[in-house]
């Protein structure tokens, strides 16, 4: 599904990704780990088509995420580490996602309910005025409702309480078939029951890649 070949990305004189090669296939749940500055976020952003590589390429189902971003992103769900301060109301954000990405609005509501988030009571509230946990729950609900083949979570449980984490893991278990789940994390213990592959990065390189 995802093929990263000889990928190099530099920012000025700093090499963030140094000739990275890897493949992520169906039914793989991967924990992507490494210290700060190891290149995890740069790799994720390259998969999402945000960065123009200095060398090498990323292919998602054979497509370049920069040249064919709309087709590629139809199949990717992404939850960032920190929910961004989006000023749109919940209702407007759901409109953006349901019209722009053809995500079923009722399904977002369904997964939000499963995450114990009452969306209907907060529809007119600005997204950025929600608590950290509520924002994260909504972004998780959206990621699941999108029904993508590839789901990328950057520290998804950072703002969640233990109960919400259990809900999140339960929903992921129900939705992991035939997908690629990619977790960027510093705490392996939080996702170790979900993943079947662990990748460690350091200084822009993959230093270990193990099936578990």
Partner 1 sequence: MKNLSLIAYLDLKESIRAKWFVVYSLVFGGLIALFFIAGVTESQVMGFSGLSRLLLMYIQITIVILPIFILITTVRSISGDRDSHVLEYMLSFPISLKQYYWGKIIGRFITVYLPVIFAMIIAIIYGAFKGASIPWDIFFLYTGLLFAMSAAFLGIAFFISSFVKSSEVALGIAFFIWIFLLAFIDIALISLMMQQRFNEELIIFMAMINPMEIFRVAAISLFDPELTVMGPVAFYILDSMSQTVFVLLSIGYPLVLGLLFAFFGYKIFEKKDLV
The answer to the question of residue 88 lying near partner 1 (CB under 8 A) is yes
Among 57, 92, 149, 176, binds partner 1 (CB under 8 A): 92
Backbone Cα Rg of the chain: 17
Residue whose tokens read 């029951």: 193
The answer to the question of residue 13 lying near partner 1 (CB under 8 A) is no
The answer to the question of residue 51 lying near partner 1 (CB under 8 A) is yes
Return the ∠ at Cα 26 (arms to 113 and 114), rounded to 5°. Answer: 5
| CB closer to partner 1 out of 40 and 45 | 45
> CB of 39: closest distance to partner 1 in angstroms?
15
The answer to the question of residue 205 lying near partner 1 (CB under 8 A) is no
> CB of 31: closest distance to partner 1 in angstroms?
20
User: What are the residues binding partner 1 (CB under 8 A)?
Assistant: 45, 48-52, 69-74, 76-78, 80, 82-88, 92, 95-97, 99-101, 139
């Amino acid at each position: 599904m995802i093929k990263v070949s000889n990928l190099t990305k530099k920012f000025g004189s700093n090499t963030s990704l140094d000739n990275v090669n890897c493949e992520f296939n169906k039914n793989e749940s991967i924990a992507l780990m490494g210290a700060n500055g190891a290149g995890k976020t740069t790799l994720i952003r390259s998969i999402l088509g945000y960065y123009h590589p200095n060398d090498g390429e990323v292919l998602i189902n054979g497509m370049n995420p920069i040249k064919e971003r709309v087709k590629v992103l139809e199949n990717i769900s992404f939850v960032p580490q920190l929910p961004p301060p989006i000023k749109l109301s919940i209702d407007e954000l759901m409109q953006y996602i349901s019209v722009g990405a053809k995500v079923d609005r009722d399904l977002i509501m369904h997964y939000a309910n499963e995450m114990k988030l009452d969306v209907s009571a907060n529809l007119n509230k600005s997204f950025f005025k929600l608590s950290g946990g509520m924002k994260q729950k909504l972004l998780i609900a959206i990621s699941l409702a999108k029904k993508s083949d590839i789901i990328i979570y950057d520290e998804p449980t950072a703002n969640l309480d233990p109960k919400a984490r259990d809900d999140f893991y339960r929903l992921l278990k129900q939705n992991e078939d035939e997908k690629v789940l990619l977790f960027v994390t510093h705490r392996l213990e939080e996702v170790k029951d979900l993943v079947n592959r662990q990748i460690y990065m350091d200084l822009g390189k993959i230093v270990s890649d193990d099936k578990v």
